[in-house]
Amino acid sequence: MATGAGKTRATLATYHRWLCEDQGMPVLLLDEAHRLVIRDGNTRTAAAFRQLASIPQPLAPPKMIALPFQPRRLRVLNDDELYAKWMTQAEEWEHTGRDQRRTESTTVHRVRNPLVRRAVLKRSKGRCENPRCMNPEPVGYTDNGDPILEVDHVVEHAQGGRDHGSNTIALCPNCHALKTRGRDRHELGAFLQEVAQRLHQDPSARNR
C-alpha cells in the first residue's frame, strides 16, 4: 500500500484522470497541481484539484486557414519620390527633437610631423600627385593662397605607416575620397604607394 509521497502521487493521478476523462476538463498542469498540494497539505488533494478546475482554461487556438498565395506588386520609387520621402522623415526627425541630441566621442591618433606635410606640398608643386587624376590642376585655393590638397598617408598612419615622404602623397579632394572609400581603393592604394616611393626617390619624376 502506497504511503506518503507515493500515496499523494497516486491520488493526484487518479483525480487528474477523473477530471480529464469523466468531467471533460482540459489537461491541467501538474506543476500547478503540485504547488497547490504542497501549499494546502497532502490530505487536501481533492480540494486543491477542485481549485484548479475553477481556474479559467485558455481558449482553444483558432483554426488556421491556408489562404491562396497572392503576389504583391511593389512599385519602385523614382529619385524625386525617394527624396520627398526621406525629407519628410527628416522633418519628422526635427519635429520630435532628435536633431538636438548630442553625442560625445574621443579619438586617439598618432601625432604627425608638420615638416613632412610641408615637404610633400612643396614636392607636389600645387598639383594632385595621382597620375590618374582627371584634373591635376588645383580645384581651388585657401584663404592663404595655398592649393586645396590633402596630404595623405598611403599606408594609414594609424596602422603603423611611416610619416615620411615615401609613404605620403598629395591628393586633390576627389582622389583622396577615391583612395579612402572608393570601390577600387585597394588597387588605387597599391598604385599610389609605388607613386609616392618613386616621387620621393627620383627628383626627375616630380617634373612631370
Q: What share of the chain is helix, strand, coil (3-state, %, to 5)?
A: 50, 5, 45
- Angle formed by the axes of helices 45-53 and 5-17, nearest 10°: 40
pLDDT for 147-167, tens place per residue? 899 999 999 888 888 999 999
Residue 44 near residue 12, CB atoms below 8 Å? no
User: What pLDDT, on a 0 to 100 scale, did the predictor assign at position 27?
Assistant: 47
User: What pLDDT, on a 0 to 100 scale, did the predictor assign at position 102?
Assistant: 87
Rg over alpha carbons for the chain, rounded to the nearest Å, is: 39
pLDDT at 38 > cutoff 90: no
Its pTM stands at: 0.57
User: What pLDDT, on a 0 to 100 scale, did the predictor assign at position 63?
Assistant: 75
Instruction: Please name which of 195, 202, 187 lies closest in space to residue 171, comparing C-alpha atoms.
Output: 195
CA dist., res. 2 & res. 171, Å (int): 92
pLDDT interval class at 128 (50, 70, 90): very high
pLDDT interval class at 87 (50, 70, 90): very high
Query: Measured between alpha carbons, how far is residue 5 from residues 15, 19, 34, 45, 54 in Å?
Result: 15, 21, 11, 12, 25
CA dist., res. 169 & res. 177, Å (int): 13
pLDDT interval class at 2 (50, 70, 90): very low
pLDDT for 171-197, tens place per residue? 999 999 999 999 999 999 999 999 999
